[in-house]
Structure 1
Amino acid sequence: MVAKRGFPFEDSQQGQYKIHVTEKVYNSTEQRISSVYERTLSKLMTGSRDFFRTQRGTCPASGNSPAELKECISCRREELCSAKCDFCDVAVCDNCARICHSCENVFCHMCSIVSYGERDNTAICFSCK
C-alpha cells in the first residue's frame, strides 16, 4: 500500500473569516433585542390606554346618547351597559347579553337557558321555553 501524498499548502492557508454580516445577525444582539422589546411593549400599552379612553364615552351603534357606566349583573364589572334584560330589567353588558333564539330579545344569564342540543349553542328565554 502506498501512503497518501501530503498537503503542500498547510503553511500558507489562512483561517476563513466571515466578512459579510447580515442585518439579522447585527440586530440579534441582546441589547438590541431588549430595546426592541421595550419599545414594542410601550407602544402596546399606549395604544391600549388610548383605545379605552376613546371608548369610554361612546355608545356602540345604538342611539345617539352615550350609555351609562353600570354594573353588569353577570360579570359584575362596570361596563357600558347599553342593553337591559327584557325579563327582569337589569343592566347587561354586550359580552354577557344573551339573545333568545325564538323571540330575539336580550336576556341576562339568570333569565335564559343555553341550549347545547343544536349545532351552535343557542339561548332560550324562560318565556319561550
Structure 2
Amino acid sequence: MSWKLRIILILLVFFADLFSFHQIRRGKMSLNHSLLWILISIVLLLIAVFPSIAFWLAGMMGIGTPVNLVFLFFAFFSIILFIYLTNVISKGDRINRRLVQKVALMERELREMRKTESKGDAAENE
C-alpha cells in the first residue's frame, strides 16, 4: 500500500471522526448511531497504520491488491449502512403511523365529547 494512500486514509479517519464527534456534540447524531462510524474509523486506521494487515487479508481472501480490499471494505460498509438505516427509518415509520392513529382516535373522542356537551348545554338552556 503506497504511503499516499496511507496518509489519505489517516486523514479521512481523522476528519470523519472529527465530523462525527462534532455532530454528536451538537445533538444532530446520537451516540448509538455513531458507533458504526467509529468502528469503521478504527478499522481504517488500523489498515492505514499497519498495512501488513491489509496485505495479509488481501492474500487470505484472494484479492489482488490491498487497495482493492479497501474498496471492497467500503462497499461492504455501505451495504451494512444502508440496511441499518433502512431498519431505523422503518422503525420510525411504524412509530409515526401508530402515533397518527392514536391522535386521530383522540380527536374523534374529543369531537364526540364536545357534541355530547353541546347537546347537554342546549338541553339545560331550554
| TM-score normalized with structure 1 length | 0.28
Q: Higher relative contact order by CA 8 Å / sep ≥ 6: 1 or 2?
A: 2
| TM-score normalized with structure 2 length | 0.28
Compare CA radii of gyration and give the structure with the larger one.
Answer: 1
The structure in which a higher percent of residues are strand is: 1
The structure in which a higher percent of residues are helix is: 2
